[in-house]
A and B are shown apart, each in its own frame.
Chain A
């Protein structure tokens, strides 16, 4: 399985972006004929690693060698020519063209050098797809096929272009059924037998155990290590992935215990059998006033989907939702805000900040929306509100007029929090609020959550960082594979929590 010398080698690779160190001194070796899984939570550096590998980003320091020679790559096409191909989660092909075209466009066989020989192209494409054990009609448009098939086509193209030596698959199974995943794995095995090295990025731990030869774990931009899955218990894998952070646990825990008594018996929100097909299976959930409920689980376990349902972004197929005693039948963000529910979304850039607007405008946006277009918030009042929260949350900005896109990620997150706090919500849902944020700010946010609870508000705290969840939550709901797995209350051990998250075959 492993040859003497690695096919691909990275030494001391570091990469920083404004405000965040994405990779720190990474060493990575890849051998021909192996399937290497790369795992890590969000912000661990997986995608940056791949970007550096394929020439999308240049590393700040470090060296790479490929097939024995120094490897410096300027663009993805260059990497492809050299033999490193990538297939992304969003299949970067043209759905309006046929399968055959997608596989061969740019290299289609020609007749007399002028016209495309469709017959030959279709035949060639069929052969290539057959090589992946896929027998499909190559003359149909790519878009008429499922994502699974589209991925196969992307793989076929990637392999065919140049005798590829390394194939990188970025989260390939996110949109696949069980059967399709099996088919993909068979293809991967076949390619491995041909000597191709496959890098397999995934957050599905089952699949790591099922198909990979070795697994590399990344955390906070560093390589934790490379292991053989057959000798790595699942629980240990999870604990290596999630790790511990540096903050002081004791103070927080004390604070949290104090607020435990203040939790009211009254349920602010009650969900019964609430679910949406294709998103999350029906679940029950009670949220009491003054309570912080943590949603824990791995990436893809359905945490964001739960948040979306609670906030009214998605319309449930089944079950009921009661807020402050009355049943909810109009599901929309605006209606939820009126009821006192607020959601700080996971995708800050696309769903959170309004990039070109000022900090002040971003902060008052939800309040203004709630008041309606006619009742304008005067400049003075807006300034007041903005200044209050800038001070409260220690938002670092030269002025409230600064366009929010110029702020660091952490400060942007604070602006979004300010926006929601300004609406004086009864329930604040935070989806990964501390991702990509410096440690000091993380602590600030966690403290803020507990303060809210003290005031009698409810909070749902979603995070991949277990220590955070443990520190701030009175109760933890564990999600697994898009369903609610268990609920853990009281003082709980990190190990117990990780066991829940990891699942039964720990």
Chain B
């Protein structure tokens, strides 16, 4: 028994997932003690409801962003424009569903379709594809600037961060566009098997991404380029194409996140969608164990856990009655704690503590 425990402990101790899991555990412990009824889950109208479900559902956009951001950070870069890409994809979708909102006049008898829940100017598949194409264009733009023109990632994506939101606002004439289409809002609000649809969507994207990265050589290439782009060059890896892929992948994830976000709130406000979400995404990835700035080995699961940590923190604060905007203070404290915990000194302390208890146990059982 002790041998098994020892090996388990050592593998957990080495595993980079330990910290985000531990942090998540701490938050839930806190909830258990201080927030009565936090873990209550009930079934209403055939759907599961409860704080845990809320956490899972509300974290959908940020998990999606974090998945994309992980790959970019793994190549040693960063993408600050994901929020703007969300806004762009949301705006494209909103316009294509109901272009009258931006002033395009249409022929035919339109009176009948105002507020019609099945109305969509373009078929929904076209809407989604168009939104993703817009996101793809953004990814190619970022990737080209970083990989071929060799501009620093932070600077290159800052450009789209600033200009992209302007583009989105321009396209929608910066009007808040309400979207009535039921099929579309099912994306963000619907339930399948008692759980919110968005959870399944995120799960699907996560699995798909994992397959894309780990069942092809892409993940290996990304890590290799991040750790040593020179050695990767010597080994025959096309470093530029790998980086381009990373930014395209990240933008596509942001595009999906934008669609989910806009469908869940039924309104597309280019001013506000995705605002500051890039920072949440980066934080989620950092909590998950992928190193910002250096890149290298990454963990999609770690980033998902990181996103859950952030969302769980926010939801817990809601339940405690902390005013919405003051939650950012808590976020700041969490960031600081995480960073300090992740620093080299803290890791050494943890490792020594884990090692010490290990030997003590061994002594006792012997």
Contacts and interface: CB of A to CB of B under 8 A. Distances in A.
Given A361-B220, A376-B216, A376-B217, A369 B235 contact: yes
A350 B216 contact: no
B236 A354 contact: no
Given A333-B234, A333-B235, A354 B228 contact: yes
Interface string A340-375: 000101000011111111000100011011111111
Q: What class of interface size applies to chain B in its complex with A?
A: 20 to 34
Given A373-B216, A376-B217, A334 B237 contact: yes
B296 A373 contact: no
Interface string B218-259: 101101100110111111111000000000000000000000
A351 B223 CA distance: 15
A355 B227 contact: yes
Contacts of A303: none
Contact of A357 (B217, B227, B234): B227
B188 to A, nearest CB: 33
Contacts of A345: 234
A337 interface: yes
A345 B231 CA distance: 9
B220 A365 contact: yes
A488 interface: no
B361 interface: no
Interface residues of A, number: 29
B215 interface: yes
Contacts of A336: 236
Contact of B231 (A354, A372, A374): A354
B234 A373 contact: no
A351 B237 contact: no
Contacts of A333: 233-236
A352 B228 CA distance: 9
B297 interface: yes
B297 A357 contact: yes
A377 interface: yes
A354 B227 contact: yes
A313 interface: yes
Contacts of A368: 217, 220-221
B297 A369 contact: no
Contacts of A370: 236
A376 to B, nearest CB: 5
Interface string A407-425: 0000000000001000000
Nearest to B229: A354
Contacts of B236: 333-334, 336-337, 366, 369-370
Contact of B228 (A334, A350, A374): A350
Interface of A: 313, 333-334, 336-337, 343, 345, 350-357, 361, 365-366, 368-377, 419
20 contacts: A333-B233, A334-B236, A343-B234, A350-B230, A350-B231, A351-B230, A354-B223, A354-B231, A355-B227, A356-B296, A357-B227, A365-B220, A368-B221, A369-B221, A369-B236, A373-B216, A373-B217, A373-B218, A374-B217, A419-B235
Interface of B: 215-218, 220-221, 223-224, 227-228, 230-238, 296-297
